[in-house]
């Protein structure tokens, strides 16, 4: 036993050795929860003599399940057969359903639909019903179907028109699955629950078989996962859950943080263990994390601490412009590398994927190696490649690849057969693609030619606009007139793709001023060359490089140095926040970001930011000011910007200065509001609201839908305290 527990602290040992009855381990970030889980499994087998096959350990990803198996195998005191039921929820369900398929009327070799398959099937059912896909978007109907399944949503809660369509679509969708012996991911869970509810004998087999049940990342469970675990357990109370409410950041995937409360109610007399000792970060970093997360009310109170040193202060850098912010991050990376750090030691965390573009741009210029974690490099993303193809075609590019990509994006009723005939005709006659379209009546039908001519005329129209309107306006016209934006409506990643397209607009606006001395055609040519060169940069195989990733993707990872960037109101916390619950989830996301850092933590933003061609004054994220000043070293307008010319174009800069002057002048008209957290207020535009936080002169107020959470000057004349 000594070998099993010798590397564990007192609380970890308690979590391992309390084997009987329900146990809840609230494991703070970096507190060694995986060590606790694997040691507990080893303890059950080695010390209590439990059959390894009668232990069920569930987690959420194959990676986590494999890591747990490997950790058990490599445990220094473990020398018996590894448990066979260490798996994801879905893998466990597949295993059970394959064994008992007859009871549900399925073939043993039933097929499982992935997410793309599911989308296509929903689309097919809506088309069968002759539903207008502009009114009933595939993505939204698919989401409703999933909600009906996972959350048992009542169809009657939707509008009458939606009820009719949704009920019919759901019925047809499910009938197709059942009749063809298919299951989607939700069905794997639901059919397992159905199996247990309808076949008490089968359920009893598993209740008797599994002596101990362990669940990792319990805060990420959804309703049906929780119900399924309860069914498997039956009267068995030997359940061990490990999780952390403070790291519950997957509400958008269906995770229900309230499952921890359900557990407390359903398993009376549970034993609670708080794992608060952190093995990752310095105490300064942990103090900052504690100060941020303690403002959330939906949590079991705990306070992370470490036996490590206090560590360096957190650096808060405020650049004059967004470019200054990015330059500062790049220069800090280079400075620390000269001190002995590796590029792998650094991670840049951001709220949304489109933010990576500005960092990729500067890192390429400075030859700093990097990798995009869990995503494609900005310039290789599908929507960016689509848009650049349009721009190339406008520049009279004559390559077949570009022409084919654009003419089929979105689909215009021009298929592969038509394009193959056109390309063969072009190659035989030596024409350009445009000339081939004009002369193709001999090889193509009138209908096919008409579609091609309409397309080429549209491209010519865009080319004419190149010299008449700004790049931003041109992009808007391309995306709208071509039907590209409309086509995105049924894309599951619509919002992300649009954000990336808008970021591309910002990049063009930035560079439009750089090439101002050239003609519009030359300017666009240079910009496209830059994009092409950037897209060819191979970052995926970088062995030592800075990691760029979203805050969501960072969960479970750690780095010596972390930069959390673009910490501005509307970016992080997100502008989509419209409730206290949403704000608390954003704060948990900040907590996750902070606790990824082992040694150094940087928080950065800028005073003004260019967004989609417009320069706007920013407001600090509230999360910065939730950290006590004594922990922060402010670097605003640091040595990195003092020696450089500020990169705001004079015209825009003057406009911005005037805007700031007007704002300051308006202060004379403000009245002092003695606002405090929790006060009820009335805004002349946004209506009634409740004050969430007061930071300096700013008040963060939760207004009723559709306005949501806003950060405003607390003394603004539009705000009236009730």
Beta strands per DSSP E along 68-113: 85-88, 111-112
Is residue 607 annotated as part of the catalytic site, yes or no?
Answer: no
Please give the Cα distance from 509 to 611 (Å, whole number): 9
Q: In this structure, is the dihedral angle defined by the CA atoms of residues 629, 633, 639 and 641, taken in order, positive or negative? A: negative
Please give the Cα distance from 136 to 331 (Å, whole number): 49
Is residue 235 annotated as part of the catalytic site, yes or no?
Answer: no
Please give the Cα distance from 65 to 76 (Å, whole number): 19
Catalytic choice (219, 247, 506, 607) = 247
Is residue 521 annotated as part of the catalytic site, yes or no?
Answer: no
Tokens standing for 68? Answer: 């747990």
Catalytic choice (125, 142, 505, 596) = 596
Q: How far apart are the first and last CA of the chain?
A: 63
Please give the Cα distance from 349 to 594 (Å, whole number): 10
Tokens standing for 350? Answer: 């951001």
- The answer to whether 670 touches 662, Cβ cutoff 8 Å, is no
- The answer to whether 587 touches 296, Cβ cutoff 8 Å, is yes
DSSP 659-701: HHHHHHHHGGG-------TT-EEEETTTEEEEEEEEETTEEEE
Cis check: omega of the bond before 157, within 30 degrees of 0: no
DSSP 15-55: HHH--SS-EEEEE-TTS-HHHHHHHHHHHHHHTT---GGGE
Indicate the burial class of 622 (C-beta count within 10 angstroms; 0-12, 13-18, 19 or more). Answer: buried
Is residue 628 annotated as part of the catalytic site, yes or no?
Answer: no
> Maximum Cα–Cα distance for the chain, whole Å?
86
Is residue 321 annotated as part of the catalytic site, yes or no?
Answer: no
Please give the Cα distance from 203 to 213 (Å, whole number): 15
Catalytic choice (186, 216, 244, 327) = 216
Helices (H), 74-159: 89-99, 101-104, 115-128, 138-150
Strands 680-683 and 687-695 turn out to be antiparallel
Catalytic choice (11, 12, 33, 402) = 33
Please give the Cα distance from 120 to 491 (Å, whole number): 11
Q: How many CA atoms lie within 13 A of 589 on its CB side?
A: 25
- Backbone φ and ψ for 656, nearest 5 degrees, come out as -65, -40
Please give the Cα distance from 512 to 519 (Å, whole number): 11
Please give the Cα distance from 370 to 347 (Å, whole number): 9
Q: How far is CA 540 from the centre of its chain?
A: 20
Strands 709-713 and 698-703 turn out to be antiparallel
Tokens standing for 185? Answer: 């991911």
Helix (H) or strand (E) holding 649: none
Catalytic choice (184, 186, 217, 599) = 217
Is residue 33 annotated as part of the catalytic site, yes or no?
Answer: yes
Q: How many helices and strands (H and E) does the chain possess?
A: 30, 22
- The answer to whether 18 touches 271, Cβ cutoff 8 Å, is yes
Of 60, 639, 670, 629, nearest in space to 324 by CA: 639
Please give the Cα distance from 356 to 364 (Å, whole number): 12
Catalytic choice (19, 34, 291, 611) = 34
Tokens standing for 16? Answer: 């391992």
Please give the Cα distance from 560 to 462 (Å, whole number): 49
In three-state secondary structure terms, 474 is helix
- Catalytic residue numbers read 33-34, 216-217, 247, 596
């Amino acid at each position: 036993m000594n070998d099993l527990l010798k590397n564990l602290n007192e609380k970890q040992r308690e979590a391992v050795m309390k084997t009987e009855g329900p146990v809840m381990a609230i494991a703070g970030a970096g507190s060694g929860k995986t060590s606790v889980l694997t040691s507990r499994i080893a303890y059950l087998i080695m010390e209590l003599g439990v059959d390894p096959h009668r232990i069920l350990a569930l987690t959420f990803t194959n990676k986590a399940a494999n890591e747990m198996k490997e950790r058990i195998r490599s445990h220094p005191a473990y020398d018996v057969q590894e448990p066979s039921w260490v798996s994801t929820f879905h893998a466990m369900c597949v295993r059970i359903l394959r064994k008992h398929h007859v009871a549900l009327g399925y073939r043993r070799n039933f097929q499982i639909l992935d997410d793309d398959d599911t989308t296509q099937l929903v689309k097919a059912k809506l088309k069968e019903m002759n539903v207008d896909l502009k009114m009933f978007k595939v993505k939204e109907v698919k989401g409703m179907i999933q909600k009906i399944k996972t959350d048992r949503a009542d169809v009657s809660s939707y509008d009458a028109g939606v009820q009719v369509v949704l009920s019919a679509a759901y019925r047809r969708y499910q009938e197709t699955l059942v009749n063809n012996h298919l299951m989607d991911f939700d069905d794997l869970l639901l059919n397992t629950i159905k199996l247990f509810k309808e076949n008490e004998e089968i359920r009893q087999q598993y209740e008797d078989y599994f002596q101990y049940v362990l669940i990792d990342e319990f805060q990420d469970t959804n309703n049906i996962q929780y119900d399924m675990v309860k069914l498997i357990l039956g009267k068995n109370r030997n359940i061990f859950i490990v999780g952390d409410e403070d790291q519950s950041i997957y509400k958008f995937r269906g995770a229900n943080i309230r499952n921890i409360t359900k557990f407390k109610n359903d398993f009376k007399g549970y034993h609670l263990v708080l794992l608060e000792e952190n093995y990752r970060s310095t105490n300064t970093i942990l103090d900052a994390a504690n100060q941020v997360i303690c403002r959330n009310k939906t949590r079991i109170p705990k306070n992370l601490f470490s036996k490590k040193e206090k560590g360096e202060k957190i650096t808060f850098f405020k650049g004059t412009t967004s470019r200054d912010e990015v330059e500062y991050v790049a220069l800090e990376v280079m400075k620390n590398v000269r001190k002995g750090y590796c590029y792998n030691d650094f991670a840049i965390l951001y709220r949304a994927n489109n933010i990576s573009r500005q960092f990729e741009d500067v890192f390429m210029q400075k030859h700093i190696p990097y990798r995009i974690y869990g995503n494609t490099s900005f310039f290789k993303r599908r929507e960016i490649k689509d848009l650049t193809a349009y721009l190339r075609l406008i520049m009279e590019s004559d390559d077949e690849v570009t022409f084919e990509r654009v003419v089929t994006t979105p689909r215009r009723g021009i298929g592969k057969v038509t394009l193959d005939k056109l390309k063969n005709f072009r190659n035989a006659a030596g024409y350009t693609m445009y000339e081939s379209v004009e002369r193709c009546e001999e090889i193509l039908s009138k209908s096919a030619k008409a579609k091609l001519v309409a397309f080429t005329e549209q491209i010519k129209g865009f080319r004419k606009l190149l010299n008449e309107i700004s790049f931003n306006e041109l992009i808007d016209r391309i995306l709208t007139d071509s039907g590209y934006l409309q086509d995105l409506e049924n894309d599951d990643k619509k919002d992300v793709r649009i954000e990336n397209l808008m970021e591309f607009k910002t990049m063009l606006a930035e560079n439009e001023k750089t090439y101002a001395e050239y003609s519009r055609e030359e300017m666009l040519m240079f910009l496209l060359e830059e994009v092409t060169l950037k897209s060819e940069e191979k970052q995926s195989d970088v062995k030592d490089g800075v990691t760029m990733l979203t805050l969501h993707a960072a969960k479970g990872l750690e780095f010596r140095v972390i930069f959390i960037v673009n910490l501005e109101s509307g970016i992080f916390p997100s502008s989509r926040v419209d409730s206290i619950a949403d704000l608390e989830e954003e704060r948990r996301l900040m907590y996750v970001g902070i606790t990824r850092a082992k040694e150094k933590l940087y928080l950065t933003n800028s005073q003004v930011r260019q967004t989609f061609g417009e320069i706007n004054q920013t407001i600090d994220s509230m999360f910065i000011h939730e950290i006590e000043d004594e922990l922060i070293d402010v670097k605003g307008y640091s040595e990195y910007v003092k020696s450089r010319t500020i990169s705001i174009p004079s015209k825009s800069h003057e406009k911005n200065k005037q805007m700031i002057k007007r704002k300051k002048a308006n202060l004379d008209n403000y009245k002092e509001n003695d606002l405090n957290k929790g006060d009820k207020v009335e805004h002349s535009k946004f209506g009634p609201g409740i004050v969430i936080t007061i930071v300096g002169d700013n008040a963060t107020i939760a207004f009723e839908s559709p306005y949501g959470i806003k950060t405003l000057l607390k003394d603004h004349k539009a705000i009236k305290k009730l």
